[in-house]
Structure 1
Amino acid sequence: MAKTRVIGLDIGTTGVRAVEVEFDNGGAAKGAPGRVVRAGFVPLPWGAVHDGEVAEPATVSSAIKRLWAEQKFSSKEVVVGVGNQRVLVRELDMPALPPAQLRAALPFQVEGLIPVAVGDALLDFYPVSTSAGADGQQLHGLLVAATAETVLANTRAVEAAGLRPTMVDLNAFAVARVQTRSGFGTGVVAFVDIGARVTNVSIVVDGHPRFVRILPSGGHDITEALSSTLDIPQQEAEQVKREIGIGLATAPEGLPAKQIIAEVATGLVDAVRNTLVYYASSNPGGAVQQIVLSGGGAFLPGLGQYLASAARVQVVVGEPLSSLPLAKGVDPRSLGADPATYVVPLGLAMGVAA
């Protein structure tokens, strides 16, 4: 039986993660079984990636080279993810054209709809549904517009590491792709991937993305606030954050840290809740029924309960390996502390295998 192998590469604020997934004949689109055959993580120093964009190409390239040397990935072809404030996702209606013609028409359709010059942006369109219009069949979907420099900053670092990007995908789509296959493909679900500096929110209806918002905040904002306010090293601040959490009982000596954590976390929770409220108000009857968390920031103790109370929606942490288990012989320790931090590279690999 023919098999397909794809490698997804996630360049995050705290490090680079890659996953090699093997699918049986048919690929992810046909529901073929898949398994993780290699995975790994190499940390990055703070500042190498800033707000989801490569700021120090040489540092990032060196980390990618180390990751490939350590994990012995079978190919140098990779799918790369992007997702920060310089990537815009909006609803858009387009004429029902063949894919090649549709992409060629995009620059003319979006003129004036995006805050940057069309010539400075990379455009894509994700179709969601079709309908009959006055001028014939219409496609309703999501426009993805990224500043070219944002994408090139990431792909150049990958190429400098000796790899070849075969596809660039939106991180929010990657998260939704793997989580819907992991048992969250029914109803209206919000997938919230909390990184160090960026939080991706994608709202999916019966397995199809309908709305994406990229928030400029994440788990490291809490760490940084603790470090600067309490005048402690960031490593210690990270430990304090994990020990105290949010909304949990705290000893008197921990109350100053508890207040700092609550203030910053509340800002993130409010941003997520407001995103859900906006979507529901724009889509009558489309209130989110469940929130699925992923990313390193999702593991702040008490955050899930706090978000559930604020949004009045059930909150769970996703388990991406329920649909893409580890192949025989793969050491679970290669994934580090929790597989949910690998949801982006897993989803990237699933996209090109679809």
Structure 2
Amino acid sequence: MAKTLIGLDIGATAVRAVEIDHTGPVPSLLRLGQVRLPAGVCAEGKILDIQIVSDAVRQLWEQQAFSSSRAAVGVASQQVVTRALNLPEMPLDQIKANLALHARESLPMAPEDTYMDYQYLGTTATEQGVAMNGLLVAVARDYVDQLTDVIEFAGLIPAAVDLDGFALTRAYANGLAQLDFDIMANQTVPYDATGSAPPRTPGHVLVHVGATLTLVVVVSGGLPRFVRTIMMGGQTITDALADTGSLNPEQAERLKMEQVDPNGQFGRIIQNHLLAFSDEIQNSINFYRTSGNAVELADIVLSGGGALMIGLGDTLARQINLNVMYGSTLNLLDTSHVLADQATLSAADPFLPLAVGLTSAPVN
């Protein structure tokens, strides 16, 4: 039986971890918790004080008594690059063995300074033959080494390092499959001379809004087709409100989660930033739509603490013209074994998808 992985999400405001038993028909949530981080310790995917973060991780393990010291951590920052990489058909292990050669022209950094991987997405028939479609993932070595240092300094084992976008995909996999079934059940399956061809699985746009980073992931058929990190999150609005001089950071943080007069000073600030934020997400979606092999998009699934900002969902729905829903990973789990009441679980739910997805990260 595979050894237990604890999903560890190192965010800008807290470290969060989740333990899940994946052996049953429905994964069971066993433990979850978080430890807050001081302001400025982490920002935009960068760890600025390794010792403080590792101390917080150690404290989290002690508080929750996780059954394993094996941690899986995610990466998302400007030091992470994802690119579509389509290659002539060849064995997957051969592609991975020669990624530095295949990726040299696709990367803004030297291949020798990165860790690389390839997410296979299927094949396409071309005039030159069969092409393999996939995503190249490259992460700066210094960044990964920093994350593993945090885990090791906390007395734990860095068992897996994964892309946050892939973890987000896995966290919602069962729920998205059900959505796909509901959508496809109302579609007519086309038929051609070679037999019935199933319709292309619709795409879902997962948007995870953190404090200083936002992930945009297009998922179709259970696979991440597009991953982008936006260097903007809920802290942007908090800072803008605090910069007026009328609010301290704590007051600004609370205000952005409340109904505010849209015509007042604070309401205008919030709305302007929500529009700018929606523009960034729309630009990411437009970029995906103009890429090759883009699928029809069905909806936007919001998660993350920043997704709780009043007005964000409505602004996205109007501007991007897609249905917007708020995702729940805990609804996809058996929570009867965890020592937490329903109110605590509901409050934690938006913050947990990355940690949940990391519990099933691939271990090299």
Per the TM alignment, residue 6 of structure 1 is displaced from its structure 2 partner at its CA by: 2.4
Matched, 1:85 2:100: no
Q: Find the aligned partners of 2:289 and 2:13 in 1 and give their Cα distance.
A: 33
* Aligned partners of 2:208 and 2:304 also within 8 Å: yes
**Residue-by-residue CA offset, 1:160-195 (whole Å, 9 max, x unaligned):** 101111111111111111112124562211000000
**Residue-by-residue CA offset, 1:212-236 (whole Å, 9 max, x unaligned):** 1110000111001111123421111
- Name stretches of at least 5 consecutive residues in structure 1 with no aligned partner: 26-31
Q: Find the aligned partners of 2:163 and 2:251 in 1 and give their Cα distance.
A: 33
Q: Find the aligned partners of 2:317 and 2:348 in 1 and give their Cα distance.
A: 21
Matched, 1:346 2:339: no
The 5-angstrom pairing of residues 30-179 of structure 1 reads: 32-131=25-124, 138-179=131-172
* Aligned partners of 2:165 and 2:215 also within 8 Å: yes
Per the TM alignment, residue 134 of structure 1 is displaced from its structure 2 partner at its CA by: 7.4
* Aligned partners of 1:4 and 1:24 also within 8 Å: no
Task: Name the residue aligned to 2:5.
Answer: 6
What letter corresponds to residue 19 of structure 2 in structure 1? E
Other structure's SS at 1:127 match: strand
Q: Find the aligned partners of 1:149 and 1:345 in 2 and give their Cα distance.
A: 22
What letter corresponds to residue 258 of structure 1 in structure 2? G
Task: Name the residue aligned to 1:313.
Answer: 322
Q: Find the aligned partners of 1:113 and 1:176 in 2 and give their Cα distance.
A: 24
**Residue-by-residue CA offset, 1:1-23 (whole Å, 9 max, x unaligned):** x6863211000001000000101
Q: Find the aligned partners of 1:335 and 1:49 in 2 and give their Cα distance.
A: 25
Other structure's SS at 1:109 match: helix
Task: Name the residue aligned to 1:237.
Answer: 252
More deviation, 44-53/2-11: 2-11
More deviation, 312-321/235-244: 235-244
Other structure's SS at 1:244 match: coil
Task: Identify if the C-alpha distance between structure 1 residues 73 and 112 changes in structure 2 by more than 3 Å, giving closer, same or farther.
Answer: same
Q: Find the aligned partners of 1:240 and 1:278 in 2 and give their Cα distance.
A: 33
TM-score (norm 1): 0.90
Task: Name the residue aligned to 1:259.
Answer: 268
Task: Name the residue aligned to 2:221.
Answer: 206
Q: Find the aligned partners of 1:334 and 1:58 in 2 and give their Cα distance.
A: 29
**Residue-by-residue CA offset, 1:250-297 (whole Å, 9 max, x unaligned):** 187xx1111111122211110101111222222477332100001000
Aligned residues: 341
* Aligned partners of 1:276 and 1:288 also within 8 Å: no
Other structure's SS at 1:203 match: strand
Q: Find the aligned partners of 2:340 and 2:112 in 1 and give their Cα distance.
A: 46
Other structure's SS at 1:350 match: coil
Other structure's SS at 1:232 match: coil
Per the TM alignment, residue 329 of structure 1 is displaced from its structure 2 partner at its CA by: 4.3
Other structure's SS at 1:85 match: coil
- Name stretches of at least 5 consecutive residues in structure 2 with no aligned partner: 181-201
Task: Identify if the C-alpha distance between structure 1 residues 134 and 314 changes in structure 2 by more than 3 Å, giving closer, same or farther.
Answer: closer
* Aligned partners of 2:304 and 2:350 also within 8 Å: yes
Task: Name the residue aligned to 2:334.
Answer: 325
Other structure's SS at 2:134 match: strand
Task: Name the residue aligned to 1:220.
Answer: 235
Per the TM alignment, residue 102 of structure 1 is displaced from its structure 2 partner at its CA by: 2.4
More deviation, 93-102/175-184: 93-102
Q: Find the aligned partners of 1:4 and 1:291 in 2 and give their Cα distance.
A: 34
Q: Find the aligned partners of 1:176 and 1:41 in 2 and give their Cα distance.
A: 22
* Aligned partners of 1:4 and 1:22 also within 8 Å: no
Q: Find the aligned partners of 1:41 and 1:64 in 2 and give their Cα distance.
A: 9
Q: Find the aligned partners of 1:86 and 1:285 in 2 and give their Cα distance.
A: 25
Task: Name the residue aligned to 2:174.
Answer: 181
* Aligned partners of 2:28 and 2:337 also within 8 Å: no
Task: Identify if the C-alpha distance between structure 1 residues 162 and 97 changes in structure 2 by more than 3 Å, giving closer, same or farther.
Answer: farther
Q: Find the aligned partners of 1:280 and 1:171 in 2 and give their Cα distance.
A: 22
* Aligned partners of 1:3 and 1:23 also within 8 Å: no
Percent identity over the alignment is 34
Q: Which structure has the highest helix share of the two? A: 1
Per the TM alignment, residue 51 of structure 1 is displaced from its structure 2 partner at its CA by: 0.7
Q: Find the aligned partners of 1:4 and 1:327 in 2 and give their Cα distance.
A: 22
User: What value does the CA root-mean-square deviation take over the aligned residues?
Assistant: 2.3
Task: Identify if the C-alpha distance between structure 1 residues 84 and 3 changes in structure 2 by more than 3 Å, giving closer, same or farther.
Answer: closer
* Aligned partners of 2:29 and 2:338 also within 8 Å: no
Per the TM alignment, residue 100 of structure 1 is displaced from its structure 2 partner at its CA by: 3.9
Per the TM alignment, residue 325 of structure 1 is displaced from its structure 2 partner at its CA by: 2.6
